[in-house]
Structure 1
Amino acid sequence: MNLILGGGDVGKTTILDAVGLLLSASNAATISEADYWRRENTDEFSIEGIVSLPLSVDPNNFSVQLMPWDWNGADAVMPGDPQDGDVPEAKHPVYRLRVRGTADLELVWEIIQPDESTIALSAAFRKKIGLIRLSADDRNDRDLRLVFGSALDRLLADPAIKARIAKKVAEQDFSGAVGDAGVKALEALDQRLKAASLPSGVKLGLTSSQGLSIGALIGLLADRDGVALPMTSWGAGTRRMAALEIAASTQADNSVTVIDEVERGLEPYRLRQLIGILKSTFGQSFVTTHSPIAIQCSAHADLWYLDAAGAIGGLNREKIAPQQQRDPETFLAKLAVIAEGPTEIGFLRRLLRLAFKGDPLDCGVRVCNGQGNAQMLALLEAIGMTGLKFAALADDEGVQGGRWGVVKAAMGARLLRWEGGCTEEAVLRHLPEERLQEFLKDAEGGSNGERLRTLADRLGLEDKSLPAIEAKLVALKSSLRALIIEAATGKPDGSPEGKRNDWKAHGRAWFKSIAGGDELAGYALADDVWPKLEGSVLPLLNAILTSVDRPAVEHLNHV
């Protein structure tokens, strides 16, 4: 299962259209100049795919010998030298299929041989591969009707059935349904035709015309409260599920399934069912989605991300798995900003609201939880291998400097990693001494007992009053700033036996939350602090702005 993700209008559906056109079971597909790059049809377009044929498809049925390519794990290559004989043998045989859009707006399907010669790729051969396609519009009922190449057509597997049905229908007498006035009108018409030496003996009957087949009028009916209703009358989600069940009863293991907006028309529980069906029943599938639920329950799938520049890259399944389960919406944003933890989330959200002069979510920018330094690094490495654009804010924990250096070189200004510390330290070390006591007050101006208790615990004091804390610091020749930084970051060094986890939890009383990060950003934006941080933070904000086609700012208006 291949899950194709990306922002709006980046080309996800175009990829599905390309797969659908390459494996189309009909030659009736048409194209226009709008299907060509920049609408210039003087240059051909070409869509190629490398496929391994199912057992039900015999390559020896071609009038010309069909030679396989060899799959090396990444691409189709020339078969190696044989051990004996004069014909190279492919260890993993695959075939290169191609459809070309010519300068005359015509489609040509071909099989490319290893010697670069081509063989015509027939519709019958493509039909055997078994394309199943569910689009995002209201035309999903194709597989519920008896049209050429549909799932219902493959299920019945009877080439002559439409001819027999047409003959049966043609034998029906419709005169009984015509009223007396209609019968007289037909008799008068028959006399006029006979007098004009034209074909006579006319009556009403079912006829077909160019572009309209009897199969298009035949579809599945299902019982609803004793009434036989067309399956196409059911909801969009039900039609999709029914079409897949029909396809599953034919050549599901060999098929290629293409589904645009897999979540369309489905409740969350039915969406999970559909993902499970695709996983357990069908051969290979290409799916687009805008649903976090679809991403979350597709742990078995290969995720591909298509960015705004049209670059597509595969995401390492092992490295993205934690993020895929905890915050699947990360992969649906136009630009995801990975924040190391809750502090960084709150900190960035406040700054980005000022930079965007509104909610950055309206521009497709989402701040996501990276779940800690180590997991965030693995996630950024997985993203970096694809060359896709993400942004990030991370702490410097003094480990994995080499790996972080590689990520920074790839991301540039889109990654801010504080030098020698974390977000709390970056702000607190620049706050004037006389303002430190502001942290120890609550919203009403009284003492913040919870924060004072974290400081007193670290000094071994029962009395949590500020005078007692300051007196102890004087005796220890230490500073209130250093003590606040240790408590705010949950530093466990020097904790009494059995108190290590308690000391690590001190940060929750300070800034280890989204609300705490927002509070910290408020101090960072103060006139006596922001000039010292602007040189580090503003490049990140501008990199995020320009990545979503918003103008950079020279100064952040934080008033």
Structure 2
Amino acid sequence: MKIRKITIKNFRGVKELDWSLPTADIFCLIGKGDSSKSTILEAIRYAFYPQWNLTLSDSDFYQCKVENSIVIEVTIGDLVEEFCSLNKYGHCLRGWDVAALKLTDEPDDHLERVLTVRLTVEKDLEPKWIAVCDRSPEGVPFKQADRSKVSVGLIGAYSERQLSWATGTALAKLTEAQSLNELLANASRTARTSLDADRPVTLKNFDAAAVKSQEIAKLLGVPVLDAYKAHLDLTSINLKVGGLTLHDGDMPLRQLGLGSRRMLLCGIQKMGLEEGHITLFDEVEFGLEPHRITRLIKHIREDKRGQYFLTTHSPTVLRELTVKELHVVHSKGGVAQIISAAQDGLQEHEVQGKIRSSTEAFLAKKVVVCEGATEVGFLRGFDDYQVENKKDPLSFHGVALLDARGASKLKALAKAFKSLRYDVSVLADGDAEKQFSPADEAELVTLGVPVHVWSDKLSLEERAFQDLPWASVLVSVKLAQELGFPANDQVRSKFGEELEKQVDQWEDSPKLRTAIGSAAKGCSWFKDTTRGDLWFKAIIPAFQDAAFAKKNLALELGKLWAWVEHV
């Protein structure tokens, strides 16, 4: 069975979610932390909870407001024939339009037959499961045995129970029909018999105490039917089904490392379940090295009988998945949205390429699309400077810096991330209008993407050397020399006149500033992330200069930071 649609109301951090799923077997939920990814997995698990005693509390309600009932509806297709029987849920069947991703209350020949299961929890904390449709809003009870047949399994941080034969676990479903309770009761009786056989040795002192207790009982008039002795109380030692666990020799497999346990559980969930399964894998990367992540994703992709819902914060996981398998989760004011990374209008190869090279951006809330590595490094240094001045860092605001690797790619990337509902801003040079034109800038602004471009059609280096105090200009040239560049010769080549060999002896002039900016740009002094970061740190004293604060470089950085803090 496969999930086609999920609706959640008032469950934990989700006030409202309505998600119609495309036909697929792998759904990886990505996005910033606290966007309710794990809550969505828990909602699916609760909708098909295989036991009757689901325990909930007031904290499971959105903002703990118990007057607003929890309602989780999950529509499943690819149904087993048993569920379609009129003796089961045939009267509640609905239709699913695969192409339009639309649910219709009446089943039809050209639509897939689906069943909507609703879990409702009111302030009495009693869960109620029913199969519903508009024709029968009161619904039909969706029984525990049928919830178990959907075979929903969660592999989370704490999954030791799944390595036992407890009710509803994958191991229990793999086991042929047999009375486990009777088996374990017999084991308890065997333990009692074994202890009794060794009584003269192992229970000698205990039996001595029992004899004394018998004497006291007789003195007090308490009847003694036979003789007091120490023995096992079968009620006290009664083994539960959950006590039968998977072992490697004498070692319980719950003692395996976290990653190994989770990989094993994933395999068990798949193995032998003839009707398929729905596996929920929270933070799939926990406890796994990159090479084992690769193996696990391959295992998942090869499983054609299962449907997988993953969450991750791992760049490695994203690199192993395709655009069609990624779904971005956004949450604002409790209203959650899930956007496919493969939606119409996006160039799939471009987005896939950025997933491979800049995965961190897809795990953020806000994205600053930078023209190149210089800008990325420069903003990293700016971030450190702001933190030193008691500002919250970019990470606090959920901001990722993305290297577009060229002005020609700025617009397409900014539009792609905006269409995926990220907050997006652009930082670009002004010297490449053929690659990123004023019209491109205006188009992005219309879409709600602020664009920060250096004035006078200058690059970052050219703009900086026009605006910085002269002391910071000289410090920048010296830094280039320390980084291994023949800066003196390179500037002299652009300047066209002789210069003093000692940089400290250079005299400020518009022509020399232009030459330095041209050399820095043309000779790539700071054109990687590390050098861009070092450059900003070298010019930090400029930000204490009142005149510099009014220049274009400082003003654009200020506007960008205001966007970071307030959007």
TM tier, shorter chain?
Answer: 0.7 to 0.9
Give the match for residue 36 of structure 2.
11
Q: CA separation of 1:443/1:384 partners in 2, compared to 1, >3 Å: closer, same or farther?
A: closer
The letter for the 2-side match of 1:294 is V
Give the letter aligned to residue 424 of structure 1: E
Deviation at 1:98, TM superposition (A): 1.6
Shift of 1:249: 1.0
- Partner Cα distance (1:109, 1:531) in 2: 64
Any idea what the Cα deviations from partners look like across 1:14-53, whole Å, max 9, x if unmatched?
2222121112111211111111122221221111222223
Equivalent in 240, 249, 252 of residue 230 of structure 1 = 252
| Aligned positions of 1:476-495 closer than 5 A | 488-489=520-521
- Cα deviation, residue 341, structure 1: 1.2
Aligned to 2:64: 39
Aligned: 1:215 with 2:241:
yes
Deviates more, 1:526-535 or 1:103-112: 526-535
Q: Which has the higher strand share?
A: 2
C-alpha contact 2:118 2:130 (8 A) present in aligned 1:
yes
Greater Cα offset, 355-364 or 447-456: 447-456
Asked if 1:106 is matched to 2:126, the reply is: yes
Sort the Cα spacing of 1:426 and 1:93 in 2 relative to 1 into closer, same or farther, 3 A.
farther
Inter-partner Cα distance in structure 1 for 2:308 and 2:42: 13
Opposite residue 519 of structure 1, the aligned amino acid is W
- Looking at structure 1, the residues matched to 485 and 204 of structure 2 have their Cα atoms a distance apart, in angstroms, of 95
Deviation, 1:92, is 2.7
Alpha-carbon deviation of 1:151?
0.9
Which residue identity is paired with 1:106?
Answer: E
Q: Which deviates more, 313-322 or 197-206?
A: 197-206
Deviations 1:397-446 (A, max 9, x none): 43476665453344455x42446554334434546999988876666799
Change (3 A) 1:296 1:38: same
CA distance in structure 2 between the aligned counterparts of 1:195 and 1:382, rounded to whole angstroms? 88
Determine which of 204, 214, 221 is the counterpart of 2:232.
204
Is the partner of 2:423 in helix, strand or coil?
coil
| Range with greater deviation from structure 2 (101-110 or 535-544) | 535-544
Tell me how far apart the structure 2 counterparts of residues 286 and 242 of structure 1 sit (CA, whole Å): 17
**Cα 1:370/1:33, change in 2 over 3 Å:** same
CA contact (8 A) 1:343 1:518 kept: no
SS at match of 1:242: helix
Of 233-242 and 186-195, more deviation after overlay is shown by 186-195
Task: Find the residue that maps to 2:329 and give its secondary structure.
Answer: strand
**1:379 alignment partner in structure 2:** 413
| Deviation (angstroms), 1:376 | 4.1
* Contact 1:427–1:520 (8 Å) recurs in 2: no
Residue 175 (str. 1) matches residue 193 (str. 2): no
- The Cα of 1:222 is off from its aligned counterpart by 0.7
Change (3 A) 1:43 1:155: same
1:348 aligns with 2:402: no
Contact kept, 8 Å, 1:47 with 1:98, in 2: the verdict is yes
Q: Secondary structure at the match of 1:16?
A: helix
Aligned length, in residue pairs: 502
1:532 and 2:551 aligned: yes
1:293 is paired with a residue of what secondary structure? helix
Alpha carbons of structure 1 residues 466 and 512: separation in structure 2 relative to 1, 3 Å: farther
Specify the SS of the correspondent of 1:207: helix
1:195/1:283 CA distance change after superposition, 3 Å: farther
Query: CA RMSD of the aligned region, Å?
Result: 4.1
1:368 aligns with 2:402: yes
DSSP-derived class of the 1:360 partner: coil
What secondary structure is seen at the aligned counterpart in 2 of 1:508? coil
The answer as to 2:308 corresponding to 1:285 is: yes
CA-to-aligned-CA distance 1:242-287 (integer Å, 9 cap, x gap): 2222212122882211122222222332232222222222622222
Q: What is the rounded CA distance, in whole Å, between the counterparts of 1:442 and 1:6 in structure 2?
A: 38
Contact in 2 for aligned 1:220/1:231 (Cα 8 Å): yes
Q: Which runs of 5+ in 1 are unaligned?
A: 81-86, 468-477, 490-505, 548-559
Question: 325, 339, 361: which one pairs with 2:370?
Answer: 339
Pair 157,378 (structure 1): closer, same or farther in 2 beyond 3 Å: farther
The answer to whether the Cα contact below 8 Å between 1:69 and 1:114 also exists between their aligned partners in 2 is no
Amino-acid identity (%): 22
**Aligned counterparts of 1:116 and 1:400: Cα–Cα separation in 2:** 58
In the superposition, the TM-score normalised over structure 1's length comes to: 0.76
| 1:21 and 2:46 are equivalent in the alignment | yes
- Equivalent position amino acid for 2:562 in 1: N
Higher alpha-carbon deviation: 214-223 or 303-312 = 303-312
Give the TM-score taking structure 2 as reference length.
0.75
Q: Do structure 1's residue 94 and structure 2's residue 114 form an aligned pair? A: yes
In 1: Cα distance, 2:120 partner to 2:50 partner: 15
Letter in 1 for 2:205: A
How far is 1:114 from its partner? 4.4
Which residue in the other structure is 1:302 paired with? 326
Q: Is residue 2:524 matched to residue 1:508? A: yes
Equivalent of 1:389 in 423, 429, 446: 423
Task: Give matches, 1:326-475, under 5 Å.
Answer: 326-333=357-364, 335-357=366-388, 360=393, 363=396, 365-395=399-429, 397-398=432-433, 399=436, 404-413=441-450, 415-418=451-454, 420-430=457-467, 449=486, 452-453=489-490, 456=493
Change (3 A) 1:453 1:395: closer
